Chain A
Amino acid sequence: MKMVRKIAFANMKYHKSKNILTGIAIFLTTLLLYMVPTVGMALINGQFAMINELYPMWHGRYRELDSQIVEKLEVHHDIARYGLRSDVGKIKDTKAEVMLFYMDKECMDLCKIHLAEGRFPEKSEEIVVTKGILKEIGQQGNIGDTIRIPCQIYRNGGLDFAEEKQFVISGFLEDAEMEDENRTYSALVSKAFFENEIPKEQRVYRFFFQVKGTEKNILTDEIEERIENIALQFGIEEKQIKINNEYLAANYIDAAFVSIITGIMLIIVFAGIITIYSIYYVSMGERIQEFGKIKAIGATKQQIRQIVLWEGLAVAMIAVPITIIVGTVLAKSVFLGILKLYNDESFMVSTIDVLFEKNQVQIYYWWIYLLAIVVTFITVYISLHKPMRIMAKVSEMEAIRYQMGESGGRKKSKKGYRDITVGRLAKIYLSGNKKKSFMTITSMSATGIFLMVVATVLACATPEESANASLVGQYEISIADETGNKEHPEREWSNIQQYNPLTKELEDRIEQINGIKTVSAFSEMYVSLVDYENIREGILGIPEEYKDTLMDGIIEGEVTYEELCRGDKVIADQNLFRWYPDIALGDKLKLIVQDDDTSYEKTVEIAAIGDYPIGFTNFSFLLMAKDGVETFSEHNLHFYYHVLAEENYNEKVKMQLEEIIAETEFLQMRTWQQSYEEHKAALALTCGACYAFLGILGVICIMNMMNTMIHNVHVRKKEIGMLQAIGMSDTQLLYMLQIEGVFYTVGTLILSVGGGSILGHPVYQWAKQNGILNIRNYHYPVNAAIIVSVILFLVQIVLAVVIAKSVKKESLIDRVRFSE
């Protein structure tokens, strides 16, 4: 055994250049195996730590609950902790939105709401406010000071008439930057105030809670199931339930998340295995004679196998520890680099940074070290298995007679070319080394295919399309209505209809703005669904210019636009069935239409089911032709103006539209640009992480090609020397190497781009169905395909030049004399 190891180590030193190459490949692959999970886990940990820092910690929330259900829920055996919150009212007549709410201490704890100073309101007149609120209502005060607030209390399902209340400030909530930006604030009142102001039967609660039994390792799915089961027991509808997915994922085991991480790890392991296997396959096959000689002087098959194994393992034993040290240093820098990249753009990322400084984000895990080491050594062993068998099988005579490159050729003769050119020389070499070429191209393509599939998903996730899906046109002007506000009955849609500002004149004015192309008016009518507890839904009227969009969106059933103009047939958006699973295609829905001060019953048939973007439906589940909706009332039912402009964003146009909107309090506007910016910010981190992953895969792919090309020259050093001795010029050598490189490049590109394109489509469909990254339309990843092609070609060209130059480092005669 000692001798076996001695030979193996001597071999390792003798084939230094080859083993350095193999060592680099092992180094890079191990680095990936270590870095991807380490940096990935650090980012996930950072995100989870950020969630635990910023996000509320309730598991589930039920809303719109009455006192009776709350009392039952409080004693439910599956609920570990709970807190209550109720909206009490609003502060009247400020430009800002100031909500008065009551929340018990447990709920504040679950929602991570902390007082900046002072104490929780206990007496009826006590209130906790923010400095921002005082500024909005134009008052000043400190703890113990009295303030007077005109407010409207929620009673009978809406906001009651305004009344001025006197409060004593008992504390201040922390001012949040977002609240100031959006001018939406919350003030906390006491339980006593809440109970004094709102009669018990009119009280509506939000119930925040954690379920029991989460101490042990529990799946997020199980928690969700329990939340849904409790809801089912008390008849709480799906739309009243909110699950705190972010908190659950950060603190419990998410099966879907674990499978995604496992999938990514498997891909890296697979890429690593095929790369190292390919490298060993390419390098060991050429050493038959060397091992044959050892066998001829008496080594047994077992010993030969051990020599091959030990040599490979020795390289890994040097490469792996170096990788682990380098990886440990690099991981932290890469993680901090990613944070720095997005630090300015995202408050969440800057929170992760702060948490990292406080040592609350773990980067290093023993199991990742173990995984990287074990997988590398297993990979090296698997990769060495075949060369071990081949070397052990070689007969002594065969090995001694073996001339480099001749053993593979089982052919005794072949019909050759009449003339030999440099191109033909390359072709002959490649066709004579089919297995090696196949192995290289296959291993490179495997990473290439995955790269293309991920690139397809990323290409489909565009902030432009997400913005397009969330808004029709570049500007959406809509009615700002409010229901049940007694102080402002004029804000009821049924009232606005009578002096609807979305008139033909307004439409013309908007169309005359320079830069505006068209304005399309969508109508809306609110109706109550008689058979579904009189729940209010909107029926959206689609104008004729959007007829094609309406018809193209139908996924089930049949109806014409003309039929939809009659007002007795509707298309149901497929999301309707999530909330009303009992409704089916062909059902007749009984509606109560509230028109002006009167109401009447009407029946509509669900003639078709459609799939439309939110920007088109504006969350209305029932769609009709505009003329159809307008049969419901004699008033002007225009609810949305979808404005198409020449440019996606133009400051002047926006300002002009804002001026028009400011003329009335009943209009509001959303812009495409605003939606685009929101989606862009949301996509930035995901895309950044994915592109980093793709970059790493690209490095694996390129490393593989480098190895094969360098090896092809190394093992043919003598042959190339010979070719040069008989007159091959440096230019011809470079040309030959480039042809070989182009073969690998083109082969890899055909398989990667072809296979990636074929596999990319079903993955896109899966992503679309699961709502991943708001994907709606398929886009071929042209940029990725071009970048991958250009990089591969460039690398291959540079490699050929570098290799051709490196060949010249050794004198021609030394290469001609070279023997394995």
Chain B
Amino acid sequence: MHKIVEIKDLVKYYQTGENVVKAVDHTNLVIERGKFTAIVGRSGSGKSTLLHIMGGLDRPDSGEVWINGKNILELKDNALAKFRRRKIGFVFQDFNLIPSLNVWENVVLPLGLDGRKVNEQEIMQILEKIGLADKRDAMPSTLSGGQKQRTAIARALAGAPSIILADEPTGNLDSQTELEVMNFFKRCVSDMGQTLVMITHDETIAQMADEVILIEDGKVEVRS
């Protein structure tokens, strides 16, 4: 087994008033390279917190997160930012595109931040694959929800990261568009060998995954 992510004894508690919410509670987890892993669970079960800590967007109270053999929690802020833009691609439920940049600029943004030269051909190929080649100059405000999410996916793929972390990427999409997006994600895993970790509420999507992890009360309950 080639593991890409290994989480060891991860803890993240929140204090809400007098109550302590155990978002991640002594969780251990291994994710294999080149696989599509779906994380499922009820609202508030701690799946998003787990994904965010895995991507270095949030810091845990304790524990370790190893990606590609590196404990990312030991990295300082600037180094972590560099690590993120090189190794991780994020896709969020509400797209999070930069409104003042057009589709192309949004997609090449991680490369620009990393100081890498843009390979125009490669980016065009990604845009063609996700069906946005004709929208390269379009502003986000003119795109439909599906187009926006595809742009966000293209952005996550542009830097050729080892791992894509997607937080309910189809949550805001209609079923037809949802299918389009999921097919595209699947192709990424199969064609490009990337690892996909996706949070979803959707049973159908979960069934498309190579592995499904059920989170309850901040703990990994079932792996299938």
**B100 in contact with A428 (CB, 8 Å):** yes
Size bracket of the B interface:
35 or more
Query: B138 within 8 Å of A by Cβ?
Result: yes
Query: A404 within 8 Å of B by Cβ?
Result: yes
**B140 in contact with A416 (CB, 8 Å):** no
**A729 in contact with B139 (CB, 8 Å):** no
Q: How far is the CA of A417 from the CA of B159 in the complex (A)?
A: 17
Q: How far is the CA of A401 from the CA of B85 in the complex (A)?
A: 30
**B109 in contact with A420 (CB, 8 Å):** yes
Query: B186 within 8 Å of A by Cβ?
Result: no
Report which of A405, A419, A725, A811 forms a contact with B90, defined as CB distance below 8 A.
A725
- Which B residues touch A428, using CB under 8 A? 100-101, 105
B-binding segment of A494-502, A666-674, A715-723: A715-723
How many whole Å from A174's CB to the nearest CB in chain B?
Answer: 75
Query: B44 within 8 Å of A by Cβ?
Result: no
How many whole Å from A268's CB to the nearest CB in chain B?
Answer: 36
Q: How far is the CA of A694 from the CA of B99 in the complex (A)?
A: 40
**B99 in contact with A406 (CB, 8 Å):** yes
CB interface residues, B 111-167, toward A, < 8 Å: 111-114, 117-118, 120, 137-142, 155, 159
Known contacts A412-B142, A422-B113, A726-B90; decide if A429 and B100 are in contact (CB<8 Å). Answer: yes
Q: How far is the CA of A412 from the CA of B110 in the complex (A)?
A: 23
- Which A residues touch B52, using CB under 8 A? 813
Report which of A411, A722, A731, A813 forms a contact with B98, defined as CB distance below 8 A.
A722
Query: B92 within 8 Å of A by Cβ?
Result: yes
B148 to chain A: closest residue by CB = A403
Known contacts A725-B57, A726-B109; decide if A416 and B86 are in contact (CB<8 Å). Answer: no
**A414 in contact with B102 (CB, 8 Å):** yes
Q: How far is the CA of A421 from the CA of B109 in the complex (A)?
A: 8
**A418 in contact with B118 (CB, 8 Å):** yes
Q: How far is the CA of A403 from the CA of B59 in the complex (A)?
A: 28
- A390-411 vs B, CB cutoff 8 Å, 1 = contact: the mask equals 0000000000000111110101
Q: How far is the CA of A421 from the CA of B84 in the complex (A)?
A: 17
Query: B182 within 8 Å of A by Cβ?
Result: no
Query: A2 within 8 Å of B by Cβ?
Result: no
Query: B77 within 8 Å of A by Cβ?
Result: yes
Q: How far is the CA of A813 from the CA of B155 in the complex (A)?
A: 18
How many whole Å from A505's CB to the nearest CB in chain B?
Answer: 82
**B104 in contact with A416 (CB, 8 Å):** yes
CB interface residues, A 577-633, toward B, < 8 Å: none
A718 to chain B: closest residue by CB = B96
Query: B82 within 8 Å of A by Cβ?
Result: yes
Query: B81 within 8 Å of A by Cβ?
Result: yes
Query: B78 within 8 Å of A by Cβ?
Result: yes
How many whole Å from A736's CB to the nearest CB in chain B?
Answer: 10
Question: Which of B140, B141, B155 counts the most A-chain CB atoms under 10 A from its CB?
Answer: B141
**A415 in contact with B96 (CB, 8 Å):** no
Query: A432 within 8 Å of B by Cβ?
Result: yes
Query: B197 within 8 Å of A by Cβ?
Result: no
How many whole Å from A424's CB to the nearest CB in chain B?
Answer: 7
B90 to chain A: closest residue by CB = A725
Query: A562 within 8 Å of B by Cβ?
Result: no
Query: B9 within 8 Å of A by Cβ?
Result: no
Q: How far is the CA of A728 from the CA of B113 in the complex (A)?
A: 6
How many whole Å from A103's CB to the nearest CB in chain B?
Answer: 81
Query: B74 within 8 Å of A by Cβ?
Result: no
**A732 in contact with B113 (CB, 8 Å):** yes
- Which A residues touch B112, using CB under 8 A? 419-422, 424-425
Q: How far is the CA of A403 from the CA of B141 in the complex (A)?
A: 8
Q: Which 5 A-B pairs have the closest CB atoms?
A: A727-B85, A420-B112, A405-B99, A406-B141, A729-B81
Chain A residues packing against B (C-beta within 8 Å): 403-407, 409, 411-422, 424-425, 428-429, 432, 718-719, 722-732, 808, 811-813, 816
25 examples of A-B residue contacts, CB within 8 angstroms: A404-B99, A405-B100, A409-B141, A412-B138, A412-B139, A414-B102, A418-B118, A419-B111, A419-B112, A420-B112, A421-B112, A424-B112, A432-B100, A718-B96, A723-B109, A724-B81, A725-B57, A726-B90, A726-B109, A727-B85, A727-B110, A730-B77, A732-B113, A812-B58, A816-B96
